[in-house]
Chain A
Amino acid sequence: MSRRLPESLKKIPHTYCPGCGHGIIHRLVAESLDELELREKTVAIAPVGCAVFGYHYWNFDTAEAAHGRPPAAATGIKRVLPDRIVITYQGDGDLAAIGGNEIIHAANRGENISVFFVNNACYGMTGGQMAPTTMFDQVTTTTPLGRTLEDGYPVKVCELLSVLEGVSYIERVAVNSPANIMKAKKAVKKALGYQARNRGFTLVEFLSMCPTGWKVSPEKSLEWIDERMLRIFPLGVYKDKG
């Protein structure tokens, strides 16, 4: 089978670190939009964080929102242009920390948007500080002895949002092996398909590698997800209203 890069990606190299999961997730979103023939009516909201440059790499309409506010910006765009596919692409610092309020209320209102949430358990862009999703004993630049109970528990976004009535589909996937990447793509297509059929709020959480923030090699970062993240953040479908 031929494997060509999707039209929804621009033919330019990106500036993410070696082994970063953003490149894979960008491609999955782009491939899914191409295959569902939604590229020309898609508006994506880029976050603040490493993926802020999403608008350089995607070949469809994008907007930029203040830190944590893509769900609010997406709400506005979707309500004004209800025939568009509106997606937000957010990291864990953006969505779970400063944007915790926006995501909970957008989900609770059942806004018909798709949220792609990239969880790398730290603030990657600013050098690997503790994020709400950082796990116990994880060493970051702001928890040099490892996260303790004093810093709170890791926030589990899928579990948290799945109890809200407005949510139609939530799944947690990983991008650390070919099998997991293929499952992740199915989840992305499902979320976009639900939005196209006006099913309400959809969210896909990706457990993504951050070799630079975790201070490990790209190859070790794949094992790091299996060994450490999956125990705290189990994969699976958390809600599916169909």
Chain B
Amino acid sequence: MKAGKKKILLINEEYCKECGFCIKFCPNNTLAKKNTINSRGFHPAELKGECSFCGICYTVCPDFAIEIVDEEQISR
């Protein structure tokens, strides 16, 4: 990982359908199901610890719910 650019893991909670694929395949075990539910009644995934931004959760997510972006790309 190149130093300098700060990454952010974005989880779109409304898109998540609680399949658990990202939690199963996360090599750092940093993803977990949230206690609250989204508008469709699913417990979305949430980041619990330090993320290495490997992108495996993005690769396995069937619901377009996860993205990894550079911090500077996000308009505030």
Contacts and interface: CB of A to CB of B under 8 A. Distances in A.
Interface of A: 1-5, 9, 13-14, 16-24, 27, 177-178, 181-182, 211, 218-219, 222
B62 A23 contact: yes
Interface residues of B, number: 27
Contacts of B73: 2
Contact of A178 (B7, B17, B59, B70): B59
A13 B56 CA distance: 20
Contacts of B46: none
B10 to A, nearest CB: 10
B62 A19 contact: yes
A-B pairs, top 10 by smallest CB distance, nearest first, are A23-B62, A18-B17, A218-B19, A3-B58, A19-B19, A3-B68, A18-B19, A13-B15, A3-B55, A24-B62
Interface of B: 7, 14-15, 17-21, 24-25, 42, 53, 55-56, 58-64, 66-70, 73
A177 B25 contact: yes
A219 B62 CA distance: 13
A13 B14 contact: yes
Contacts of B15: 13
A218 B60 CA distance: 12
A209 B43 CA distance: 21
Contacts of B64: 5, 9, 13-14, 23, 27
B67 A13 contact: no
A1 B55 contact: yes
Given A3-B68, A219-B20, A222-B21, A21 B62 contact: yes
Residue of A16, A17, A222 with most partner-chain B CB within 10 A: A222
Contact of B67 (A3, A14, A23, A218): A3
Contacts of A5: 64, 67
A177 B55 CA distance: 13
A182 B19 contact: no
B59 A218 contact: no
Contacts of B63: 13-14, 16, 18, 23
Given A2-B70, A19-B62, A218 B55 contact: no
The interface centre, meaning the residue of B15, B56, B64, B69 with most chain A CB atoms within 10 A of its CB, is: B64
Nearest to A185: B59
